[in-house]
Amino acid sequence: MSNSNVNAAKGRRYTAKEKADIIAFVDKVNADKGRGGQSAASKKYKISPLTISSWIRTGPGGGSLSIGGGSAVAGPIGKKLSKLQALHDQIARAEKELSKLKTQFNSLKSAL
């Protein structure tokens, strides 16, 4: 394999600012229209939707996103992810409590 083939596989590299600007564009379109920001950004900036999705998941700097703590995505998406995580945790606690109640219920029912 020649060097030109190896280099041909690599795409354009974007700066953290360019990524942040594109993610901000996605957030704005989503805020205005409710959805479609990723597709609109893909068309406008001629970038794969998968690339944009990866940036949204990891943040514009390329570091990994940690929902439970550490770094987080800023803006409307970050707020929604944070709220989603909080709701998930609340549901998990409620399901655990419900499981305990069902166990007690079934125990009492079988004792009849």
Residue 94 forms part of a structural domain:
yes
Q: What is the pLDDT of residue 54?
A: 87
Which pLDDT tens digit goes with each residue over 47-103?
999 998 888 887 655 544 444 444 455 667 777 777 788 888 888 889 999 999 999
Q: What is the pLDDT of residue 17?
A: 86
**DSSP assignment of 39-108:** HHHHHHHT--HHHHHHHHHH-TT-PPP-SSSSS---HHHHHHHHHHHHHHHHHHHHHHHHHHHHHHHHHH
Q: What is the pLDDT of residue 61?
A: 57
Domain housing 20: 11-110
Domains in the chain, number:
1
Q: Check: pTM over 0.85? Answer yes or no.
A: no
Overall size of the chain counted in residues: 112
Residue 60 forms part of a structural domain:
yes
